[in-house]
Structure 1
């Protein structure tokens, strides 16, 4: 009797699980999987908002790589990644080390440093645009102290991308700081105490003990930060609109313009898939190289 009841109970549990998981699976299929498949199909078509759709094969991809605006957006995105990723990691690791167990009020500092991450990026971008503008906080403070005006950070070529990167680092370093802080707290104290007894200074302790011990956290943070940095959109869109000229035009801004400004959905989808392949390739390289520098031994 017991053996007969078990299959019925399993079927009942399966139906209950399907009932609870059904709405989420429906939403995932409708709003995630279906758009992904549709965008892949659209990438191989000339797909206007209204009118006939024509299969073009790889023509959309060839058109993008022959478009100087797309190439410039690609180079700008790579420049953003090259600047943003190391700065984010350096600031995050540095602050995580600074707010160690011996610092009073470290819990409060963690909350303060994490606040920019949970505040809306749109609001942050608007506030930073006001800070950067002529007669804004930076310009006004510098002029009051020295009598010299600050550059027009968002309006002069050569400054705009660095201004966007600085704002992005301020917005995003708090998350990685918490990751590194937790990893540093997990390091056995006796290792650092033994190194200190042997005469190792703070820098040697950091490079010889702390950095290898937090390398899994560093790998995770660098991978996630790399993925998000390739998708940068909100900061340049709101702060500079892609200018001055095309100095801060990024790949996601290019995709947005093609898709929702001139309604060339085929080109927009092709651009989105190029971003996907680029992120996938860089991430694969990172995973392949982790064996050389990530230490999972406790």
Structure 2
């Protein structure tokens, strides 16, 4: 652009540059925009329409209005898997956050070989869920699994973990926490390293104990990280599927079947696309409401 003192020339040059940059931006973003429209936006809109229909992929689509939603809340299986999902979330999220934070604090020390331990604890996050499920199925095996062997050493008879209606869900929860704890640990570790050291130095001068520093410095300054980890953990726990499908297939007696697993069954095994779409939108609204409540509580309790 040639410098000029003429205001109109300047304006035209700026507009020309703006249109040129906008054109290139649109061209470069077009593949992502098309991908979003085709593989995200269109399925979301189509599934919303399907939630008011009956369709088995073979017969013509039949509009049924709110019937799917009415049937949903009269479906005892749906109510059971909904409470299974709540159980999974209430158990896995707090435990996962506590273990992740404890692990991050332990790995935030300047010890020799600390990078190796950080990488080792993060390894399950990048491991295939299929491999993780196979390993934990062997660990939980009631006859030759290592977990029941360890329990037998202290005189405890281990249960049939994955075939027990009582212990199958705790087994899936333990596996899910083990696989995801490294990711949350990494987030907490970043948050811990962002806390200025002079806060702890001042606390040491005042004679504060380790617990006082943790309670009055670490936890308050980690609140943004804790909030993010909590929101993401809740969303992911409501969407859990792979660990359930690979380890128990929702059994025994649907004791581990969760909402996404039941949606999968209705859509791709029973071919009830409309019913599965209705369940998907119920799940969406549940997650949205819980997330909004979390944001409201964070805004109300924020120290910033």
Taking structure 2 as the reference length, what is the TM-score of the superposition? Answer: 0.92
Task: State yes or no: 1:66 paired with 2:60.
Answer: no
Task: State yes or no: 1:285 paired with 2:288.
Answer: no
| Aligned counterparts of 1:194 and 1:5: Cα–Cα separation in 2 | 56
Correspondences of 1:93-172 after superposition (within 5 Å): 93-134=101-142, 135-143=144-152, 145-146=153-154, 149-172=157-180
Aligned mate of 1:252, from 241, 250, 260: 260
Q: CA deviation at 1:5?
A: 4.4
Q: CA deviation at 1:149?
A: 4.0
Task: State yes or no: 1:12 paired with 2:16.
Answer: no
Query: What do the CA deviations read for 1:61-83 (whole angstroms, capped 9, x no partner)?
Result: 11111111100000000000000
248-257 or 50-59: which moved more? 50-59
For structure 2, list consecutive stretches of 5 or more residues without a partner in the other structure.
3-8
Q: CA deviation at 1:236?
A: 1.0
Aligned residues: 295
Q: Which residue in the other structure is 1:91 paired with?
A: 99
13-22 or 85-94: which moved more? 13-22
SS at match of 1:82: helix
| Aligned counterparts of 2:173 and 2:291: Cα–Cα separation in 1 | 21
For structure 1, list consecutive stretches of 5 or more residues without a partner in the other structure.
none
Q: CA deviation at 1:147?
A: 6.5
SS at match of 1:228: helix
SS at match of 1:151: coil
Correspondences of 1:232-247 after superposition (within 5 Å): 232-247=240-255
| Aligned counterparts of 2:182 and 2:167: Cα–Cα separation in 1 | 24
Taking structure 1 as the reference length, what is the TM-score of the superposition? Answer: 0.94
Q: Which residue in the other structure is 1:206 paired with?
A: 214
Query: What do the CA deviations read for 1:75-106 (whole angstroms, capped 9, x no partner)?
Result: 00000000000001000111111122333322
Q: Which residue in the other structure is 1:35 paired with?
A: 43
Aligned mate of 2:189, from 177, 181, 187: 181
Query: What do the CA deviations read for 1:107-162 (whole angstroms, capped 9, x no partner)?
Result: 2221111111111112211211121112122223444x356542111111110110
Q: Residues 155 and 243 of structure 1 are in contact (CA less than 8 Å); yes or no, is this contact kept in structure 2?
A: yes
Q: CA deviation at 1:201?
A: 1.1
| Aligned counterparts of 1:295 and 1:128: Cα–Cα separation in 2 | 41
